[in-house]
């Protein structure tokens, strides 16, 4: 199935399509970069959260061992470890998404350079 064609109001020649594509790439690049920064920030928060969960689980185990009265903190430790596992899973998903964003950003940059070179080559030939 063919993608829909974009018709340009000022013309539908190759130059107009190239110009439109260049503008679209320039429009998308900042959004991709911003999304990448946000994903990176969330990943850092996830790592910090995982470290706090580990610290809390360790502290609960220590408290449980030091108590003279038998408190069953194992269910809470298990809940913490389960939460940590979920944090790790989310972090892995974010890492994969960030890698895809980096590849997309790289592709956009390569395509921008290629299209700019084509436009400049076309512009020089028209002179």
**pLDDT digits over 61-101, tens only?**
888 777 766 667 778 888 888 988 998 899 899 889 888 88
Instruction: Compute how many other C-beta atoms are within 10 angstroms of the C-beta atom of residue 53.
Output: 20
Report the pLDDT value the prediction gives residue 8, as an integer from 0 to 100: 45
Structure tokens at 89: 């899973």
Contact yes or no for 43/95 (Cβ under 8 A): yes
**So where are the chain's domains?**
14-70, 71-126
């Amino acid at each position: 199935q063919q993608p829909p064609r974009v018709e340009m109001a000022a013309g539908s020649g190759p130059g107009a399509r190239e110009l439109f594509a260049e503008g679209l790439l320039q429009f998308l690049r900042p959004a991709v970069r911003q999304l990448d920064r946000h994903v990176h920030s969330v990943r850092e928060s996830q790592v910090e959260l995982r470290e706090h969960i580990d610290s809390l689980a360790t502290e609960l185990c220590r408290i449980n061992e030091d108590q003279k009265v038998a408190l069953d903190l194992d269910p809470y430790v298990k809940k913490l470890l389960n939460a940590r596992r979920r944090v790790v899973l989310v972090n892995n998903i974010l890492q994969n998404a960030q890698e895809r964003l980096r590849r997309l950003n790289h592709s956009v940059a390569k395509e921008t350079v290629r299209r700019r070179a084509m436009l400049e080559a076309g512009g020089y030939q028209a002179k």
